[in-house]
Structures are given as structure tokens and as C-alpha cells.
Amino acid sequence: MLVVAGIVAAAAASALLAVVVNIATGGDAGYFPWVATHPLWWVLGSTLAVALSSVWVVWAQRRADRRLVALVPVAQRPEKWVVDRPAEVAAAVAALCGQGGTVGVTTALRGAGGFGKTTVAKLVRADPRVLRHFRNRVYWVTLGRDVRSRGALARKVNDLIGRLDPGRPVTFTDPEQAGEHLATLLAGMPRTLLILDDVWYPAQEAAFPVAGKGSARLITTRIPSLVERAVPVRVDEVTEVQAKAILTADLPTLSRATTSRLLAATGRWPLLLRLANKVLVDQCRIRADVRAVAAELLEHLDQGPLRVDRLTGVPLASLDVNDPRQRDQAVATTIEASAGLLTGADRQRLTELSLFVEDETVPILLVSRLWRSTGELDTMATRALCSRLHDLALITLTATRDGGTLTMHDAIRDYLYQQVPEQRRPGLHAALLDAVGVQDGAWWNLDESHRYLWDHLIEHLLAARRTDVAEAVAADLRWVAVRLEQAGPTAPYADLSLIDTPLCHRLRRLLGQSAHLLAPTDPPHSRVDVLHSRTAVERAWAAQAAELATRRGVPRLVNKTTLPDPPHPALLHVLPEKCLVVGILIAPDSAWFTNTNPTSTEMRVWDVKTGGLMAVLRHPAKISAARVSPDGAWIATAAPDGVRLWHPLTGELKTVMPNVYDDHPYLYVAPDSSWLAVVTDDEVQILDAETGGIRTVISYRHAPWAAVVSPDGTWLALGTASDVRVWDVTSGKVLAVLPGAIRPHVATADARRLFTSSDEGVMRLWNTASWTEQAGIPLEPHGNWPLVAANGEWVAVGDHEGVRVYNTTTGDIAARLPQSRYCWPLGMAPDGRWLAVIDGGNVRVWDIRTGAVQAQFVAEVVSAEVAPDGARIATHDGHEISVWDTATGHRLSVLPHFDDYGEFAIAPDGTWLATGGQTLRIWDTAVIERSATKPSASAQPVIGPDVAATATSALDATVLVVKAPGTTAIIDTATGRLHGVMHHGLVDYEHFVTPDGSRLVTASKSQFSLWNVKTGESIPIGLNAIGLPLVFAVDDEHEWVDIVAAVRTAAAPDGSWLAVAGTDGVRVYDTKTGDTVADLDHVGPSCSSLAAPDGTWLATSNVNGVRIWDTSSWELRSFTPVEGRVAAVAPDATWLATVGLSGGVGVWAVGGERVAWFDVPGVRSAVIAPDSSALLMVSEKGELRVWWRGDGATALMRTEQPLWGGAWSADGGNVVVVGPRGVASFMAYLGVAATVPVATPAQLCPTPSSGM
């Protein structure tokens, strides 16, 4: 009545307001003349009346709803710990209050009960919208497994009829007759809602028909087929927010990391979440440390979800699986409610499914082969049983073209696997292996479409206790090749990781070191060639790699000599990051790290163990700052458009904190990861890490220089040009103003002291309880940044007199560490026990307490990092990183790192470090440097790793010439060995080898030299020795560098003419007279020019294109508008190759037609084979590619080192490439001229026994 009265009052007030507004705006007052007298007051009064009546209606409606909800029986109300399921409830309410009918609530996820079907039904039952719509005529019927007989079912219907019509009790014994009477009764009643909870059988659903206008049924069941015709409401796993609410109910605050791990362990399964919460609450009554209790629970959950049942204290044996209320007290009984309905044989088949790996999709055909072996079931019988298991919600079936798949929830799998006696488990896995024909490791018998077996064969072999067979398969290079093509290098790496033997450890590391080279190739089949090449350095794979490489019937490149660039023994992974790497941030548990580059809007997250890319965080704007939370639960990125929080393992965007900053903000994180401080020039925003909302805003006048967060997260110290101010992060109030300081330095771990510094040369120590100065430590103005021990006990300061160590309690000097020159502290032990000091090229490690040197080593230091445990120091000198033992001063390892600006970081656990720059690498800090393999003669560095060099082939293909400042090296293309090195001292010079391959010419504007190629000896200078006329020695227009430069000149094979490129074109000279033969009309300067071997034409090029000139008339024969230079001319004079400025390599017929085009980033050289049959392309990216002209086949090879150039051997059978680490020689096989697919067992295993 109150609601109706309120609605009437609101309507009357609205009508009055309309009349008053009409009169106030000039309308006729009519029957309301008093309104026209004071229209404004009447408008205000009627508006207030409308507002009050509206509030009255809302209040009355809520009061009525509370009364309706109070009438809901307690057993049918949601428990207090239940979190709302708005999406599911809204869908059910909309369907029930709309057209009526039947709404079916079932699980959308694979698995049994416990996902909250009954909970959703209770939420719907207590929803005011439902209670109003059905006027509280809602009736709940709980069925269950045991209500199966006709008599039991009829009694349930009779009971409902008695509640609907108490005056006319019935005693039907036939459920069909009872159901018909129920339908008749409902048809004559107002709209009514029936809630049928825990329906298992079709007879249960049929016994409770829906009838009458507007009446409806809500059915909860784990059997989807029972509600196929109903409006479906799928109950899935709860959201993260809902799961957290269930898990943490009635508990003290848990850290974000612990909560995340618990949510992951429970799979956000409501039943398991509730049971885990119950365990935590019970345990915390005895042990107050909730974090310790949570850690213990995680250890139990790691052994399987069923471990929770042992901790709840519920007597499992006494629970009735037929009672849904008792089932919700344990995981096991919830599962048994479905499994218990199976026959003994079917139960056995279900149990056998537990051998399959969790979280995997299993082909039905594979299950059929297993059950044919264990239960004599054919394919149709297998499908029928799987359908039955699906109906019982024990598995989930998915229809596919190749026979379908099934999946099983982890909790069910864990429960069933525990039902298998431990001694029987190996036999179960053996049965699967025998059924698919791989019992002896004959993996080539696997069906290529059964990806499950390819991914998990090693696991099943190990579970069957066939470790030797598992090792033989995983270490078989043919298996590695197939797995590489199927799923990339992480697949064979994961296989080897499963086997704990020295061989597999060694092979796994090599794969990890080479994974970046095993990326997909073009052509695809060359990926396996790269694998064979890189694995040849491992003695266990060398013979098999060589045999497999030579037997492959595809165009390929095969190692001829030992590789000059084997992986460094300490290298773990080279990650496929192709840009400048900076901003390395490492997770607190050292399991992953992130990186950015200076101009990127992306951040990448890498897995340290596998080297795989875990996630890419894509920010709309350039990232200016980033932080990893101390608990590792999130990553924060900042940009001018706002701050974002990301999940590091998935890349999921957790929270967006939009804002527009005038500059690039800086980030500081609370030690407990609960909040994030965003610091700009004029304010600090304290943002809640959970919600993204602003907790506090701190404003100030001067832009801050530095900030320090207290270890307990209660205050924030900001330094400006005038002072340091300490702010309370909760209230935003100033706690203290610290005069004489402009830069907060660090707070001690116990948060009792804060260090500040200033340009006046004083470091002050403040008591954070009273914010009074405790001590002052003198610093040299604008000197080196002091080091403070983690416990705040010591402060080390360096200047030109040495290093002083101060006791922070007294301010007195505790130790003086004399050095010979200006020095500074490099690093301090985490416990403050020692101090490393750099002095020029010397590093000394001092024992602070005794003042004695405990270790000393020589190192030029650009940057340095101390391992968290203090056992090692890593120093970077701009070229390499050295890892030193702080106790002995011994250098443990040298890690190449050629980037002066590339940063590096040591993992918190000290086991690895990451280096940035142009390449992102992960290194094992525990590996002591040693030689991985003994290099051959060709594997020795030709020039040196830090030299910018080029390499060109001689015309007769007998030698490869390497040009570097001050040095030229000659390499024999037949053997790949170094002929000799000419030390001429020239820096800016040109060179070429005479056509007969016997002489090397080097020339600059100040020096001209001639060298014997075979001996490396200098030959006396004589102009006629190179066949050039004396007239060119005195030519005023062209200097010697122009005449002898290989890239600027071209000569006739008979030496009758010489073409010289100039700034205005190309001029051709008669070599006998020195007269100009022709001025070629070549707009713009020429990039290069080459003559045909038979002398009939000359090719010139520049940025506009390539021109071919007839040498008999010097007329233009053809023009090709392609950017680049002429790189090579075929010996048969029918085609040529060009290299573009952007990396494109073109193959052109002499007439100008394009034959082929290749994108070769960083191409350094293109060389044609002596018989004109193939083209070699070499890239500074470490790739070499061969193209065979006859049928267009290609082959590719990758190396670890950047390449300077390459050449063919004189017989055309080998190619030689050279880089900073030495020479590599490969045999080039054309093989089968056909398109080759990815590697398959048939291609790799012509005979199963070969190669091992």
C-alpha cells in the first residue's frame, strides 16, 4: 500500500508541476488564480513535492523488497560468503520474468559440480525482481541422484502439490499422474516459479511440468542434455574479482602475489575456492600468520586440488554423495556424484582417461585406440561412452572433422588418477604407448595429426618408467627436427627438459643457445639445415647431424668446416629482439623479465627458463617509465596519456589509470604493492593498485628531483630545489620538512632512518620517528654518489683522497681505504661486510671491519652490478662483461657484449644476468669460462671482433679478400683457411685482386702497394706490374684511388680500356694512349660499374637505375630503373645481380628483364658462382642464401656472427663466408628441384635405425 500511495502522490505532484510550469510561462491560470500570484514559489514547491514523492516510492519499494526477501526460507537464501554473479542472475531473471517457460542453469565449463549452479539459483530465488514478478509464489524442490525410483519421484511431486494447495493433499504413486495433476493445478493459479535443484534424470524433469500463463521453471543440472530446449544460463568459473572475494572472506589481508597464486591453484572453481577459504580461516585461528598459512596451503594444492579435502576436517566417508548439500563440503564427493553412476567397466575406462596430461585436448580416436586395448571397445562404443561421460559432466566433448576431442577438469583428473594404484600407473601409460605402436620409442609410427602424442610422448615414456627410451627419442636429432617444425624450438627444448640426465641437460642448453637461429626460414626446409649446422658442435649430435645433412634430398647448405661461432658456454638464450634493448626489469622471483627500447610503445615479457616470449604489453603512447611490483603480481607502465597495470604472465591489462600529463611521469611502488605513486612536475598521485582509483594527491611548488618510499610504505620523501619534504601517503599531509637537503637518498630497511644529500657537501641522517638530524657526513661537493649499506650501518664516500667509510650511528669514520688515484665506491655487499672500490683500471674489494683487501682484479669499468648474495660482481668495460668472484678476485667468466650503451642486470637470485643493446641475451652466472669446442684453423678470428670490415671475392674465385683498417686478409675459398694477412697500415684505402688471382693491390691517395696473395709478401712497386699505363700516374683529373678502386672502375678483359666513375658520370679511357674513348651519359655519380667477362658490354649503376652499354659502339643497350649498385656479373655474361640500398637483391637479364628478387636485410655482398649457375647473398644479420638459376631453388643458412661477405670456391661446390669470429665454409647442394614442405618423419627417417 505504501508503494501505491507513493506512486499516486508522485503522479499528483507531477501533474501539479506541469500545471504550475504552464502558468508560470504565460499560460491561462484558469481555475488556479493563486498560482499566477506567486508562480516561482509554486514551481519550487511542486518540484520539491515530486522529489519527495519519488523518494517515498523508492523507500517504500525497498521496504517491500526487504519484507519479500525476509519471507524466503533460510535454506534457500545465499550464504553470507556468496559473491554476486550479476551476469548469470541477470540472464536468468530476464528469461523468467519475460516469457516464462524453462530456464536451465548448467555448467559451461568442463567438469563436474561446484561451479555454483545452486548458488545462482539461490541468488535468483532471493532477487526482488523475481519475488515481485511472481508475488512470492516461488517453490523450491531439491531432487538429486537418489530420487530415481517412481515412488520417490511421486512423493516429491505430492509434496509440491501439498505446498501449492494445502487444503487438498494427494497421494499419487505414479509420477506421470502426479505431474499431470500438478500441471492442472498450476494452470489455474497465478504465475508461479518452480526451482528444481540438482536434476539428474529425464524423469525428474518430466515430473514437474510448467503450466499456466506466466509460470516458469528454473532447473539446475550438470547434465546439459536435460535442458537443451530451455533458455540456457551457463555457469562458468567466477571472475577474478569474485574469486578473490570468496577466497579472502573473513581473512586478514593477503599479499597480491599470494592471492594470485591461490587463484591460479584453485582454477577459480567456486567450490574449491570456498574450501580453500575454509582451510585458511580454520588454520588462522591457531596460527595468526596468514601468509605462512597460505604458503603451506599452496604446497598442498601443488599436489592436487583433492589435498584440500584432507584439510577441511570434513569426514569424507560419512558424506552422502546423493545429497547436494553434503556434496558441497568436499571436492571428492562432488565428483563421485557423477562417477558413481557408471558401471564397473565404464568406471574403469573413465579412470584410464586420467593418464592424459592435464589441461590438454585429447583426440577421441586416440582414446579409442587405448580403450580398444584395455576394454575391447571399438570406435562407436568409445563415442557412446564418451557421450555418456559428457552427459554426466565428467568430460567435455567437442566435435571436429577428424573425430572429435575431449577435455577433463584438473580436479576430476587428479581425483581419478589417485584412484589408480601407484604400482599400476606405469602399466597404464605403457598400454597407451603399446596401443599407438611406440612402445620401443619408434616415434616415426605416430600419426602426424595426433598432436597430443607428439607434444607428450616423452612424458608418457617417463611415466611408463622407460627413461632410456625417452632419452633416446628426445636426443634423436630427427625427432628434434620434426618437433622444431611442428612447434618451434621450445618444443624439443621442453622435451629435453623433462629428462634428468647429463646428456639431456647438455643438449637442452645447446638448443636454448641456438633457439634464435631456429626461427622459421624462407625456404621452410632450410630451418632443419640450420639445426644440423648448429648442433654439429655437440659431440653427441655431430655424427648424426653430418649424416642427416648430407642425406637430405633438398637444396641445402652443409657445414664443411668447424663453425667459428659456437655458443659461449655461459650463454642460456639469445632472444629474438631486433631493436635497441634498454630498460631491463627483472621479476622478484627471477622467473621472467621485461625490456623496452627508447622509442617503443611496447614492453616484452620473457620467460627465463625457456627464452620464450610470454606477453607483449602494448601501450598507446611511448612508454616513459615502468616498474615491476615487489610481489611480481603486476607491471606498471607510464606515458603522457596515463598509467596502466598489466598481468606479467598473460599480458592482460588489469587496470587503466587515465590521465593527461604535461610531461613524462615517474613511478614509485609501495613495498607491499598496494599503491603506486605517479610523480610529475607539480604533483604526486597515489593510486590504488587494486582499483586504479586515486587515494591521495600531493601538490608542491617545485619540481621534485628524487623520491624515496619508506620500507613500510607509510611515507614518501620528495626532494626539490629548496628542501626535502616527507608526506603521509594516506592523508597527503606533510610529516616533516628537512632543511639543508634537496635530495632524499635511501631509507634503511627498518624505516627508522632516512639519508639525504645536497650540493653543499653534506649527507644527513634523519630519525624518522622525530624527524630530527642524527648525524652529518661530509661529502665532496658534486662528488660521487655515496653507497649506503642495506642495514644503514655504513656509508661509503669516495674522492681524490680515497674512500671513507662512516659509521652512521656516530657519524665517525670507521675505515679509510687508501687508493692511488681519484676513485669511487663500486658496490657493497648486501650485508655491508665488504666494499668494492674502483681506482682507474683496478678494483679492490675491502673488508670494511678489518680494512684489509680481500680481493683485487684489473678491470676497466663502465658499469657494474653486484649479485644479491654478494658472491659475484659483474663489470662492463664497453666490449665485454666479466664476472668476478668477490672472495678471491678470480674472473669466473667473460661474456661478449659489444654495445657501449647496452645495459645489463643481474637476477635477484644471482643465477643469471641479462644483457641488452642491439641483442638481448641471458647468461648463466655460475658457469666458469671454458672452451666449448676446439676451433679449427678456419675458426680463428681473421681480423678481430671490434673491427668494421668488408669482404669481396676475387674474379677467379680462388680467394676471399677481407678489408679492414690497416689490414687486409686473404682466405682460400677451397679450404676456408687463412692464406695470409697484409699489414699495410692504410685506413682509407681501396683494394682489388688481379684477374689471375696472384696479386693484391692496395692504394690510397698517399700510398700504393702490391702483394703476393699466396705468400702475403710485399712486391716492389712497378706500374706495369698491374698492367696499367704510366699515363694514369700523372692524370690530373683522376687520382690513384679512382683508378684502382674495385667499386669505382671496370676494365676490359684484354686491358684495352678502363672505365672510371666520376662525379659527373663515367669516362672510358684507352689504356694504350690514355685518350678518352667515350663519355657515357650517366646522370649523377655512378655507384658501381662492372664489365662483362667477354668484354662485349659494360654495366653501370646509380640511384636512378642500371645501364648496360655496348662496348663496340658505347651505345646504351638497356636501362633498368632499379635503385642500387651492380654487385656481380655472371661469367657467361647473360645476367647480373644488383644490391639495393634497402636490402633488396635483384637478378636481371642483360636485356633488362627481372629474373628474381630477394629481400635480404643488411645485405653485404652478392657473388655469382664461377659456372654462372647460382648466386650467393650474404647479410650482416648472419644469414647467407644461395639461389640456383636453373629452377629457382633456394637454400638458407644462419650463423651466430654478423657477416662481412662471402665467395664461391673455384669449382662452385662450396661457399665461404667471413665475420668477426672467423671463417665458415659450407657445401652447397642443389638436391631435388622441388618445393619441399616442412620436415616430416618420412623425410628425416628413410631408415628408422640410421643416425643414432
Estimate to the nearest angstrom the gap between the alpha carbon of 264 and the chain centroid.
Answer: 18
- Distance from C-alpha of 308 to C-alpha of 294, rounded to nearest angstrom: 12
Lowest mean pLDDT, pick from 64-73, 206-215, 1127-1136: 64-73
Mean pLDDT of 1091-1103: 85
The cell for 685 is: 598521485
507 is written with which cell numbers? 643438449
**Residues facing residue 492 across a β-bridge:** none
Distance in angstroms (rounded) separating the CA atoms of residues 182 and 46: 52
C-alpha–C-alpha distance, residues 862 and 1002, integer Å: 38
Average pLDDT of the chain is: 78
| 3-class secondary structure, 495 | helix
CB-side neighbour CA atoms (13 Å) of 575: 28
**Set of cell numbers at residue 775:** 648525524
pLDDT band per the 50, 70, 90 thresholds, residue 557: very high
Compute the average pLDDT of residues 693-701.
Answer: 84
Residue type, 1236: V
Q: And the C-alpha cell for 1074?
A: 690514355
| 403 backbone φψ class: left, alpha, beta (φ>0; ψ -120 to 50) | left
Cα–Cα dist 989/1011, whole Å: 15
CA separation for the pair 445, 436 (Å, rounded): 8
Beta-sheet strand order (sheet of 715-719) = 706-709, 715-719, 724-728, 734-738
* pLDDT above 70 (res 613): yes
Arithmetic mean of pLDDT, 679-693? 83
Specify the pLDDT at position 821. 55
Q: What is the pTM of this model?
A: 0.76
- Checking if the pLDDT of 321 tops 60, the result is no
Residue pair 1138/1122 in contact (Cβ under 8 Å)? The answer is yes
Backbone angles phi, psi at 717, to 5 degrees: -100, 125
Residue by residue, DSSP assigns 880-935 as: EEEEEETTT--EEEEEE---TT--EEE-TTSSEEEE-BSSEEEEETTPPP--SS--
> Best-predicted range by mean pLDDT among 845-849, 1008-1012, 1068-1072?
845-849
Q: If you count them, how many residues does the chain have?
A: 1252
Q: How far apart are alpha carbons 505 and 498 in whole angstroms? A: 10
The 1163-1168 sheet, strands edge to edge: 1163-1168, 1174-1179, 1183-1188, 1194-1198
pLDDT of amino acid 175: 87
Name the pairing type of β-strands 138-142 and 193-199: parallel
Indicate whether 13 pLDDT > 70: no
Q: Which pLDDT score is estimated for 1048?
A: 41
Coil, helix or strand for 277? helix
Give 1036-1045's long-range contacts (Cβ < 8 A, gap of 24+). Answer: 1037/1062, 1038/1062, 1039/1005, 1040/1003, 1040/1004, 1040/1005, 1040/1008, 1041/989, 1041/990, 1041/1003, 1041/1004, 1041/1005, 1043/1003, 1044/990, 1044/991, 1044/992, 1044/1001, 1044/1003, 1044/1008, 1045/990, 1045/992, 1045/1003
Residues 6 or more apart in contact with residue 145 via CB below 8 angstroms: 200, 321, 322, 337, 340, 341
Q: What is the mean pLDDT of residues 1011-1032?
A: 53
Q: What is the mean pLDDT of residues 753-768?
A: 80
The predicted pLDDT at position 1237 comes to 38
The whole-angstrom separation of Cα 604 and Cα 624 is 15
- pLDDT value of position 474: 95
* CA-closest candidate to residue 870, choices 840, 832, 841, 902: 832
Higher pLDDT, 595 or 930: 595
> Given a cut of 90, is residue 483 above it in pLDDT?
yes
What is the torsion angle, in degrees rounded to the nearest 10, for the CA atoms of residue 1018, residue 1023, residue 1024 and residue 1029? 160
**Phi/psi-derived region of residue 1083, left when phi > 0, alpha when psi is between -120 and 50, beta in every other case:** beta
Distance of CA 826 to the CA centre of its chain: 33
Secondary structure string (H, E, C) spanning 1172-1231 = CCEEEEEECCCEEEEEECCCCCEEEEECCCCCCEEEECCCCCEEEEEECCEEEEEEEECC
pLDDT at 545 (0 to 100): 93
Nearest Cα neighbor of 839 from 816, 856, 815, 814 is 856
Residue 259 is predicted with a pLDDT of: 81
Residue 464 is predicted with a pLDDT of 93
Strand 571-575, strand 582-586: pairing: unpaired
d(CA 988, CA 1039): 14
Q: In this predicted structure, what is the pLDDT of residue 132?
A: 80
pLDDT in tens, 1158-1200: 999 989 999 999 999 999 999 999 999 999 998 899 999 999 8
Burial of 1177 (0-12, 13-18, 19+ CB in 10 A): buried
Helix pair 270-284, 256-266: axis angle to 10 deg: 130
In this structure, the strands spanning 1115-1120 and 1125-1129 are: unpaired
Say how far apart CA 742 and CA 503 lie, in whole Å: 58
pLDDT of residue 781: 57
pLDDT of residue 1236: 37
Max avg pLDDT among 477-481, 572-576, 1040-1044: 477-481
Quick: pLDDT tens for 264-291.
777 777 777 777 777 777 777 777 677 7
pLDDT of 898 > 70? The answer is: no
- pLDDT tens digit sequence for 418-474: 888 889 999 999 999 999 888 788 898 888 777 889 999 999 999 999 999 999 999
Strand order of the β-sheet with 1057-1062 is: 1049-1051, 1057-1062, 1065-1070, 1076-1080
Q: How is domain 937-1229 classified at the CATH fold level? A: Methylamine Dehydrogenase; Chain H (2.130.10)
C-alpha 681/C-alpha 700 separation (Å) is 9
What pLDDT is recorded for position 1250? 36
**The 231-235 sheet, strands edge to edge:** 138-142, 193-199, 216-221, 101-107, 231-235
Helix (H) or strand (E) holding 406: strand 405-407
pLDDT in tens, 210-239: 877 778 888 888 777 777 777 777 776 677
Residue indicated by cell numbers 606498471: 636
pLDDT tops 80 at residue 961 = yes
Sheet holding 613-618, edge to edge: 582-586, 592-596, 602-607, 613-618
Share of the chain above pLDDT 70, in %: 77
Q: What's the rounded Cα separation, in Å, for the pair 1138 and 1152? A: 12
d(CA 801, CA 822): 7
pLDDT digits (tens, 9 = 90+) for 88-124: 778 777 877 776 666 665 553 333 445 567 778 888 8
Determine the residue type at 502. P
* Residue 1019 in this model has a pLDDT that exceeds 80: no
Rg (CA), the chain: 41
| Residue 18: per-residue pLDDT | 63
Name the range with the highest mean pLDDT among 143-147, 521-525, 887-891. 521-525
CATH 3.40.50.300 fits 78-235, yes or no: yes
Which of 257-266, 554-563, 626-635, 1135-1144 has the lowest average pLDDT? 257-266
Highest mean pLDDT among 139-143, 529-533, 1221-1225: 529-533
Q: What is the pLDDT of residues 513-534, one digit of tens each?
A: 999 899 999 999 999 999 999 9
Is it true that the peptide bond before 520 is cis, omega within 30 degrees of 0? no
